[in-house]
Amino acid sequence: MGIFDKIFKGGCSCDVDETLKENTVKKEGIMTIKILGTGCKNCTNLTDNVEKAIASLNIEANIEKVTDMGNISSYGIMSTPGLVIDEKVVSYGKVLKPEEIVKIIEKL
């Protein structure tokens, strides 16, 4: 039930094309990969391995480095480096090899 006992049927009353809405939410299908860490050697190694994995898959991705501890802790990880793909934590506390990252990306 919704407000004033009205049933909310979902959807939007605006005239925005559904495809446009999906592309806006998913950033036009480009994967977003975040490396969570303070910039230590392990974080740098994970970043390098992510770049190798992306290159081997021949895909486009936005790679972001998150160094703020407040932002890092908001993902619920307690040890770095962390790897987040499209806002899903897929690894933390270790440096994944490029082959491992490829397997994770292929499963998503």
Catalytic, out of 43, 50, 72, 84:
43
- pLDDT of 86: 96
State the sign of the Cα–Cα–Cα–Cα dihedral 65, 70, 74, 75.
positive
- Give the span between the Cα atoms of 37 and 83, in whole angstroms: 9
Residue 33 in this model has a pLDDT that exceeds 60: yes
Domain boundaries, the chain: 31-106
Please confirm, yes or no, whether 40 is among the known catalytic residues: yes
Instruction: Find all residues with CB under 8 Å of 57, minimum gap 6, and list them.
Output: 102, 105, 106
**pTM for this entry:** 0.73
Please confirm, yes or no, whether 43 is among the known catalytic residues: yes
- pLDDT of 28: 57
pLDDT average, residue stretch 80-97: 97
Catalytic, out of 16, 30, 40, 63:
40
Cβ–Cβ < 8 Å for 55, 4: no
Residue 94 in this model has a pLDDT that exceeds 70: yes
| SS3 assignment for 54-89 | HHHHCCCEEEEEECCHHHHHCCCCCCCCEEEECCEE
Q: Which one is predicted more confidently, 76 or 17?
A: 76
Average pLDDT across the chain, whole number: 83
- Given pLDDT bands bounded at 50, 70 and 90, which one contains residue 1? very low
Give the tens place of pLDDT for each residue, 5-24.
544 444 444 444 444 344 33
